[in-house]
Structure 1
C-alpha cells in the first residue's frame, strides 16, 4: 500500500514538473503588453498612412476632402508631366553623387580615426558634430560658403585670379553644390558605423598578419574590408533610403531651380500637395518614391549578397 502511495506521489510530481516545463515554454500573451506601445505607433504612423496614401492616390482629392474615384489616372498624369520625370532624374543623380561619397569618405575617416588617442576622439567628435545640426542651419552655412563674390570658393579662386564656379545658379553645378553640403552634413553617421565595425574586428587577426609581414595594403584588402563587408552594405542601404528623400537642402538652397534642375521628388510632392492642393497627385508621386526607394535598396542588397557568396 505504501509503495502504491509512493508511486502515485512520484507520478503526480512528474506530471506537475512536466506541466511546469510546458508552462515555461508556452507563449505568454501578457508579454504583448510590452510591445503594444511600439506596435500601436508603428501601425498608426506607418502602416495606416501607407494604405491611406495608396487609397488617396486613386482619387481626385484636395484639401477639402476626397472626391471621385479616378483609378490610376493620377499615375498617368505623373508620367505625362515632364517636371516629374525631371525630378526623378534629379533624385537619381543626387543619390549617385552622395551615396558613394558618403560611404567612401566615411570609411576613410573611420580608418584614420580608429585609434585610442585623445586627438582621434576629438576629431571624431568634430566630424560627427555636423550631423546634429538642423537642415536650416546647414543650408544657411553653405549658402554663405557659395556666395558668388565673397564665399570660400570665390576667395580661393581669387588667389589665382580665376572666377569661382556658381554652385547655386549654374544649372550644371547646382546639384553638385547641394551634394557637397549634404555630404558635409551627413558624414557623421557612416563614419560612426564604420568605426563600430572596425572595433569589432579581432586584434589577433592583425597580430597574425603582422607576424607574416603583411603590408598595410594587404591587411586592409584581405582582412579589414572583408570583415566589415556587411557594415558597408548596411551603410549603402541606409544612405540610399535617406538621400532619396532629399527635400530641405533643395528647398532652402535653390527652391528647386534654376529651371527645375535641382527639384527632387519630395519637393515635387510638396508642391503638388501643399501648393497646388492636388493631394491625389501628391499621394501618387509619394507611392512612386516609395517603390523607387524599395527597389534601389533591394537591388543593392541582393547584388552585395551575391558578390559575398561568390567571394
Structure 2
C-alpha cells in the first residue's frame, strides 16, 4: 500500500485497454434470417402449388388416363393436338367473349354504384349491404336463384312478368344461342359487382376532401369535379379492378356448368369446362393438362400486358 504526503500529486490511472471485439459469427441462427417464420409457408407452398405445377407439366407430356393405367412419354403431341382442336378454339372464344361482355359492365356498374353510395346520406348502410350481399353467396345458390328467374317456361319469373305486360313470353333464356351467354353474363354481374363496388367505395372515401372544396370555390360543377378530381384519383383502383376482373372472367366455370351445361350447341362452354370434359369425361388427363397450360400461358400474357400498360400510365402521370 502506497501513501502520499500532502502536496504530492498522484498520477492519473491509466485507462483500461479496450476489450477485443467478439469473434465474427460464422453461422447465423435461422431465426435471424426469418426462416423459422417462413418455413411453414414455404412447405405448404411447395406441396400444394409448386409440386402440382411441376407434376402437371410432366403429365401434359404423357398420354396418362384417369385410371392411371398408362403414362407413356409422348413429348409435345398433346400440345400439337390441342392447337389444332376446333373444340379448344371454340371454347376459348366463348371464354374471351364472356370476358368482353362482363368486364366492362362490372367495372362501370361498380363505379356508378360506389359513386351513388358515397353521396347517399339516407339508409346508406342498406344500399351498401344490398349490393355487396350477393357476392357472399355461393355460386350454386346464385345460379339456382337465377334459374328460377329466367327459367324458360311459365314457371320462370321473367316470363311471367313479360306476360303481365302483354309481351311475348317463352324466351329461351338458356336454350337459345342468342340469349344463353347474355343470361350467364347478367347473372355474373349481379353476383360479383359487389366486390368492385366495395373497392371503389373504399377508394372514394380516401380522396382528400379539400380537393373538392377548392374546386367548389373555383366554381367547378359536379361534372367537372367528377372528371378532373374523382376519376383521376381512382385511376390506380381502376387498374387493380380491371386486372382482377379480367382474371376472374377468364376463369369462368361454375355459372355455365350449373345453368347451361355448356349449351346450347356448346355456345357457352368455356375452356375450363372443356378441360374438365377432356380429363374426367374423356379420361385423357394428359391431354387436359396440356390444354390447361396453354390457357395458363394465355392468362400470364394478358396479365403482363395489363401490368405493362398500368406501369406506363403511372410513369406518364409521374412526369
TM-score (norm 2): 0.87
In structure 2, relative to structure 1, the CA distance for the partners of 1:5 and 1:283 (3 Å cut) is: same
Alpha-carbon distance, 1:309 to partner: 3.6
* 1:205-244 CA distance string (max 9 Å, x none): 1111111121111111111111111111111111111111
In the alignment, the residues of structure 1 paired with residue 281 and residue 239 of structure 2 have an alpha-carbon distance, to the nearest angstrom, of 38
Aligned with residue 81 of structure 1, among 79, 85, 88: 85
Larger mean CA deviation between 299-308 and 187-196 belongs to: 299-308
What residue in structure 1 maps to residue 56 of structure 2? 53
Higher helix share: 1
* Equivalent residue for 2:226, pick from 210, 220, 231: 220
Q: Any residues of structure 2 matched to 1:143-292 within 5 Å, and which?
A: 143-150=147-154, 151-164=156-169, 165-292=171-298
Are 1:5 and 2:15 an aligned pair?
yes
C-alpha change, 1:2 and 1:103, in structure 2 (3 Å) is farther
Residue in structure 1 matched with residue 4 of structure 2 by the alignment: none
Residue 137 (structure 1) aligns with: 141
Count of matched residue pairs = 303
SS of residue paired to 1:148: coil
Q: For the Cα contact (< 8 Å) 2:62–2:75, is it kept in 1?
A: yes
CA distance in 2, matches of 1:3, 1:302: 70
CA distance in 2, matches of 1:146, 1:101: 20
TM-score scaled to structure 1, two decimals? Answer: 0.89
Stretches (4+) displaced over 6 A? none
Larger radius of gyration between Structure 1 and Structure 2: 2
For 1:212 and 1:89, the matched residues in 2 are separated by 50
Cα displacement (A) at 1:38: 2.1
Query: How much does 1:58 deviate?
Result: 0.7
Give, in angstroms, the shift of residue 86 of structure 1.
0.4
Q: Secondary structure at the match of 2:296?
A: helix
Report the Cα distance in structure 2 between the residues aligned to 1:271 and 1:238, rounded to whole angstroms: 26
Whether the 8 Å CA contact 1:83–1:260 is kept in 2: the answer is: no
The 1-side partners of 2:161 and 2:313 are apart by 43
Distance 1:87 1:2, change over 3 A: farther
Q: Aligned residue for 2:6?
A: none
Match of 2:44 in 1: 41
**Within 5 A, what are the aligned runs for 1:21-32?**
28-29=31-32, 31-32=34-35
The aligned counterpart of 1:23 is none
Q: Which runs of 5+ in 1 are unaligned?
A: 20-25
